[in-house]
Chain A
Amino acid sequence: MAKNRLLGKVKGSYLFYSGLAVVLFFIILAVFAPVIATHDPTAIDLNNIFAAPSAEHFFGTDELGRDVFSRILYGSRISLFVGFVAVGISLIIGVFLGLIAGYFGGWTDIIIMRIVDIMLCFPAFFLILAVIAFLNPSVFNVMAVIGLTGWMGVTRLVRAEVMSVKTRDYITAAQVQGISGRIIMFKHILPNVMTPIFVTATLGIAGAILTESSLSFLGLGVQPPTPSWGNILTAGKDNIMFAWWLSMFPGLAIFVTVLGYNLLGEGLRDILDPKN
């Protein structure tokens, strides 16, 4: 494919650029959180609880007088971390199972796809809740559980791609040369199915961030005093009568971040889709 055409499409894609800008913005915030933060995110100041947003506290303070702006900044680290690791886990599982199912076919395929069907029957959030409550809620467990319950879509996608790539001549040629199945799968097929995986992964990060914040909101995710957008919102819900800023700003952060990843994902899809 002509490289210039691809570049041309990248240039024309507002979706891609606006998404990329938002995503980079939040990555920079997360990386430089200690520099940007105006206060220690866990420093308690009981003389100054529920202070409304001001020049001193941009987003106000919470029920323990902690600075909400700094907490949201540090919370972005958690969200990013959970998003990337959880999606990483589901990609590893999903790509591996999808490759095997698509390449070998037959019983391997039937069994793997049945497991996918079964997993898809569960209301994912119920399954996550059940497992996370029995483990102890922690950042690590949240990532693991979101990753372990989110690989089914990737498997289906990779399998379908592999099935279509597998019949191409260059794969037959490799088989005729006696190259092992493992090498064909990973070296010859995988690179050709990466494109749709990128799109799914980007959208998956958005989903994982949303799930993490829902879990933390219910008190089953990241535990205070470690700040996460979800657990700041819990405080917002409990104090909604008199501290609107506790609900407003963390939610806004989730909204803009998720929007960013979705835009980036859709932009990528437009750029990489040969039909456009």
Chain B
Amino acid sequence: MLRYIAARLAGMIPLLFGITLICFFVIHLAPGDPAQFLASMNPKFSETAYQKFEKMYGLDKPLPEQYIIWLKRVAVLDFGESFSQDGKTVTAKIMERMPVTIYLNVMGMLLIFLIALPLGVWSAYKQNSLFDKSVTVFVFIGFAVPTFWLALLCMYYFGVIKGWLPISGLTSYNFDQLSFLGKVWDVAWHSFLPVLLSVFGGLAGLSRFARNSMLEVLGEDYIISARARGLSERRVVFKHALKNAMLPVVTILGLSVPGLIGGSVIFESIFGIAGMGQLFYQAVMMRDYPVVMGILVMGAVLTLIGNLIADICYGLVDPRIRYGKK
């Protein structure tokens, strides 16, 4: 097992290198440099200020040299200082915003798994039943609904017409005066809609995947033989089929991380939540290169970690994976 994990880790190194390379060059080869942009925003930005700015951020050096300098700092998680007025480091800015995004995504992910797996497994077990057909219809709808549209409609209905739910931010104005339990309740109340919508967005794909995986397993010989031996349905489904059907589902965990992170841009902008997505959006609009690159790298690394965890889980439950690869 340790060897397997070590091999996985070693395999990540070239990927990490490639990630930084793509991040850096995509951003730097794109037209429009930040110094010029700042100059166009501020008429008082003089020629000397321009040069000072370029020097300060090393923008006057040749690209490969800039890359090496940047890479050395990224290796110790130092993404430099943000271009914005507050002059905070990129790492500080990301750390400030990360907990909110992680909280929302983890909540969403947990609920997605809790709801989608039973849905998928049950509709596979009862293939072509009314239940299965309704789930299929739901899946098609879920795949096609633009979640930001659904978010708007929910905001309009629950927030504007009914006034049941808050439509913006994660906390009330009087958050600081609330008791601890009051705070927990306040945040939960505010995150209800964003989490609900991210669950809706992810439900379709996972339940479909679980259904296909379960269908495949239920058709295997060993299930037929288990039934032939006279085992109870319950035993066949839960002990024999379910275990193997859930294996591939684990990999989805890693694969869905980039989608969730990407989706946070839209959710956070609609609901006015100060998370990584919003930070990224603002940084992109202000051409804040260090922040954009920092978040791109962090996002990709989070995905790598997600994949690694999925691989390790897979290796833990399936010895063929652990020993199979030479």
- With contacts A214-B146, A218-B269, A236-B152 taken as known, whether A119 is within 8 angstroms of B258 at the C-beta atoms is no
B27 close to chain A: CB less than 8 A? yes
Kindly list chain A residues whose C-beta atoms are within 8 Å of the C-beta of B315.
none
Kindly list chain B residues whose C-beta atoms are within 8 Å of the C-beta of A213.
146
B265 engages A218 (CB within 8 Å): yes
Chain B residue total in the interface (Cβ 8 A) = 48
Complex CA–CA separation, A213 to B144 (angstroms): 12
Complex CA–CA separation, A84 to B261 (angstroms): 26
A118 engages B18 (CB within 8 Å): yes
Report A208-232 CB contacts with B as 1/0, cut-off 8 Å: 0010011001101000000000000
B152 engages A258 (CB within 8 Å): no
Q: How far is the CB of A137 from chain B (nearest CB, A)?
A: 11
Kindly list chain A residues whose C-beta atoms are within 8 Å of the C-beta of B146.
210, 213-214, 251, 254-255, 258
A126 engages B149 (CB within 8 Å): no
Kindly list chain B residues whose C-beta atoms are within 8 Å of the C-beta of A122.
19, 22, 258, 296, 299-300, 303
A131 engages B26 (CB within 8 Å): yes
A121 engages B144 (CB within 8 Å): no
Interchain CB contact (< 8 A) of A121 among B150, B258, B270: B258
Complex CA–CA separation, A255 to B141 (angstroms): 8
Complex CA–CA separation, A117 to B307 (angstroms): 11
A118 engages B15 (CB within 8 Å): yes
B18 engages A124 (CB within 8 Å): no
B263 close to chain A: CB less than 8 A? yes
B143 engages A262 (CB within 8 Å): yes
Kindly list chain A residues whose C-beta atoms are within 8 Å of the C-beta of B265.
125-126, 129, 218
Select the stretch in B54-62, B173-181, B223-231, B277-285 that faces chain A: B277-285
Q: Which A-chain residue is minimally distant from B17 (CB atoms)?
A: A118
Q: How far is the CB of B242 from chain A (nearest CB, A)?
A: 23
Inter-chain pairs besides A118-B18, A120-B258, A259-B141, 20 sampled, C-beta below 8 Å: A121-B19, A121-B258, A121-B304, A122-B22, A122-B299, A124-B262, A125-B265, A125-B266, A126-B295, A130-B296, A133-B284, A135-B31, A210-B146, A214-B146, A237-B152, A240-B156, A247-B153, A255-B145, A259-B143, A263-B140
Q: Which 5 A-B pairs have the closest CB atoms?
A: A125-B262, A251-B149, A134-B30, A259-B144, A118-B18
Interface residues of chain B, those whose CB is within 8 Å of chain A, are 14-15, 18-19, 22, 26-27, 30-32, 140-141, 143-146, 148-150, 152-153, 155-156, 160, 257-259, 261-263, 265-266, 269-270, 280-281, 284-285, 287, 292, 295-296, 299-301, 303-304, 307
